[in-house]
Amino acid sequence: MAKEMTEFNNRLDKLAEYCMNSGRFDQDLYIEYDVKRGLRDSNGKGILTGLTEISDVVAFKSIHGRKIPIDGQLYYQGYNVMNLVEGNKESRFGFEEITYLLLFGELPNKDQLQEFLDILGNYRELPDNFVRDIIMNAPNANMMNVLQKSVLTLYSYDNQPEDISVNNVLRQSLQLIARFPLIAVYGYHSYRHYILDKSLVIRRPKPELSTAENILRLLRPDGQYTELEAKVLDIALIIHAEHGGGNNSTFTTHVVTSTGTDTYSAIAASLGSLKGPKHGGANLKVQQMFKDIESHVTNWDDDDEVTEYLTKILNREAFDGKGLIYGIGHAVYTESDPRCVILKKYAQALSEEKGLTREFDLYNRVEGIAIKLMQQHRQLFKPICANVDFYSGFVYSMLGLPMELFTPIFAISRISGWCAHRIEELANEGKIIRPAYKYVGHHKDYVAIEDRWW
């Protein structure tokens, strides 16, 4: 049997080699035909493919025709996120308010917000036996796959799954926004129980609690959390909720929505995009990198020793051999990423509560040294900064969130933006998004099978 399996695998390897030989072509053809690979120009700027009012990402200002780098600014429906976070101190939790803003274009008054909270609280439940029959059935270690499977299955529990009127899509969107935390946490508990042989604890959400509070309450065996913990998670949800229409998963939402398909298919596609390590999984790489740094750098307070090891990482002599310092640099932001600036402040506060200031100091030290090293190593003439992924994994770890939930937490937040963009695409009755590809192969004459001597 083992011999047969080896022979079978060898055949697959040979077929895979055919794929590689057939699929690979001269990379210079991208330049020859002026193909904007990755939908980016030669300077790395994204190619304009659509219009949106939902959010704006600003990293430069124009002075006498020249682009001057500035501290990054992120706007939700015209409001600066810095101001939204700062103004949310009194209300304690703001993710739900931000979700309202993204969907409806304006901040709610007190009555509108309470009505919205009541609706989300009412939707914060799953269909009867859904946890047992769907989430606990065939559990796996990747909660993004659990989310995708569950979202697609929820289609079968919807009496109007194909109705893409804005009224119906809004109802579906609010249900998914409310249900995502439950699916992710219940999926993780199922994985721990059925695969890791741990005790199973399933707790019902409380409709009157915020999304952040419910996540911590559902996740922890004792259901307890501090006010600061819930506040920090709420802030993390706010700053991840939306980031312009051009990020990969939001663009996926627009592309799939433009075909006229149902909400569940569109959101499942967006989840597939966010799962990728080049998108939503980036903070996992930062966490892995820091574990490596912590184990190889003896004195975390020694700038020279930290610099020496980071140089090894850049020279592909350490960590994963890719030559990357993860969490440093962004496709748009230059002087600073506002999301990182916000999260860093709360990371410091949480580290003080948790007794992890030494770890925070290491993050802060690596941030400063890595920026200078990367500018020198890559001979960069424009500023670079730490991005939101640099501190998010550290924050999640301090909150006791397992790594399996890092990317799902991103999804729990970002679905607010996805749903806003889906509704925007439907409201504007756009054409199907259909990009063009240049054929660079060769036309061939057909050869009968008996004459194929290759």
Annotated catalytic residues are 330, 389
With tokens 């909270």, the residue in question is 117
Distances from the Cα of 357 to the Cα of 226, 326, 353, 360, 398, angstroms: 18, 21, 9, 5, 11
Distance between CA atoms of 322 and 312, rounded to whole angstroms?
A: 11
Q: Are 335 and 383 in contact (CB under 8 A)?
A: yes
Residues in contact with 131: Cβ distance below 8 Å, sequence separation at least 6, in sequence order? 186, 190, 202
The terminus-to-terminus CA distance of the chain in angstroms comes to 31
Q: Are 350 and 233 in contact (CB under 8 A)?
A: no
Burial class for 292, CB neighbours closer than 10 Å (0-12, 13-18, 19+): middle
Q: Are 230 and 217 in contact (CB under 8 A)?
A: no
Burial class for 87, CB neighbours closer than 10 Å (0-12, 13-18, 19+): middle
Q: Are 116 and 96 in contact (CB under 8 A)?
A: yes
Farthest CA pair distance, the chain: 79
Distances from the Cα of 322 to the Cα of 160, 285, 307, angstroms: 48, 11, 17
Q: Are 253 and 416 in contact (CB under 8 A)?
A: no
Using only C-alpha atoms, the chain has a radius of gyration, in whole angstroms, of 24
CA trace torsion 137, 141, 144, 146 (10° rounding): 0
Q: Is 332 helix (H, G, I), strand (E, B) or coil?
A: coil
Report which of 429, 435, 432, 427 is spatially closest to residue 259, judged by C-alpha positions: 432
Say how many C-beta atoms besides its own lie within 10 A of residue 437's C-beta.
Answer: 6
